[in-house]
Amino acid sequence: MDVKVNKKGFCKYIGGKRKTRENVGPLLNETGAMVAEDAEKVELLNAAFASVFTAQASPQESRTLEETENVWTKEDFPLVEEDQVREQLSKLDIRKSMGLDGMHPRVLRELAEVVAGLLSIILERSWRTGEVPEDWRKANVIPVFKKGKKVDPGNYRPVSLTSIPGKTMEWLVPGIISKHLEEKKALRSSQHGFTKGNSCLTNLTAFYDGITG
């Protein structure tokens, strides 16, 4: 950017870099008293988030490997390859926030060539066993104001900032599964949902063609 020519664009760029996250102000507790201490505000927000939280479903660990073996044999089990991990890391958005593990997306992207091999081993292990590392199941919870009065804890929604390596696994798995199903021709041509290039529209078009000859 030529600063002398595009002064407005330069000021906009600097302004964007100077923006900081606005802290949560004082909140009203259940008795109507104003709370300003950070620890007390955290407790109030936690209580508000917990009040609308849906209980976790019962564990299905015993079914994970059994169902996997019905879909794939050990010989043709899809792999999490180093090249796939390297490509995914190279596409990380460095503007995104890191999770509780402190691994910033910029660091992972810049060091993709170095960490891809080690991370692919971890992801492969997780993929084969159906187990997720404990650190990937933890998150930094950030309160984001929705609307209404800012002193009401109920007017905030939680945003969970999870582990970037964990998210990398989430991004890779659908592609691995889709590629395997395509290679094994496990999907019928009538399958339109959750398949690349297909949608409700292609389903309706195929149905229309079928009944009109």
Q: Give per-residue pLDDT as tens, 66-89.
A: 545 555 666 667 788 899 999 999
Predicted pLDDT at 107: 93
| In a domain? residue 33 | yes
Whole-number Å distance between alpha carbons of 97 and 6: 29
Of 63, 37, 41, 80, whose CA–CA distance to 170 is shortest? 80
Residues 94 and 173 in one domain: yes
Residues 5 and 94 in one domain: no
Residues 176 and 94 in one domain: yes
Predicted pLDDT at 13: 65
| In a domain? residue 84 | yes
Predicted pLDDT at 175: 83
Cα–Cα separations (whole angstroms), residue 52 to 45, 55, 70, 154, 156: 11, 9, 37, 10, 12
Whole-number Å distance between alpha carbons of 86 and 107: 13
| In a domain? residue 58 | no
Residue 156 main-chain phi, psi, to 5 deg: -120, 145
Residues 39 and 110 in one domain: no
Residue 137 main-chain phi, psi, to 5 deg: -95, 0
| In a domain? residue 98 | yes
| In a domain? residue 66 | no
Predicted pLDDT at 110: 94
| In a domain? residue 62 | no
Residue 28 main-chain phi, psi, to 5 deg: -90, 130
Residues 44 and 96 in one domain: no
* Below-70 pLDDT ranges, the chain: 1-5, 7, 10-11, 13-22, 55-76
| H helix or E strand, kind and range, residue 28 | strand 27-28
Question: Which residues, 6 or more positions from 143, have their beta carbon under 8 angstroms from its beta carbon?
Answer: 24, 45, 156, 157, 158, 159
Give 153-188 pLDDT, tens digit per residue: 999 999 999 999 999 998 888 888 888 777 777 777
Angle (nearest 5°) at CA 23 between 22 and 25: 120
| In a domain? residue 95 | yes
Predicted pLDDT at 79: 80
Predicted pLDDT at 62: 46
Q: Which single residue is written with the structure tokens 């389903």?
A: 203
What angle, rounded to 10 degrees, do the helices at 164-183 and 82-90 form?
130
Predicted pLDDT at 65: 47
Residues 148 and 189 in one domain: yes
Residues 147 and 199 in one domain: yes
Mean pLDDT for all residues in the chain: 82
| H helix or E strand, kind and range, residue 178 | helix 164-183
| In a domain? residue 113 | yes
Cα–Cα separations (whole angstroms), residue 84 to 45, 105, 165: 39, 16, 13
| Domain count for the chain | 2
Residues 190 and 144 in one domain: yes
Predicted pLDDT at 64: 47
Residues 46 and 89 in one domain: no
Residues 203 and 137 in one domain: yes
Domain that holds residue 204: 76-213
34-35 and 139-145: which strand pairing? unpaired
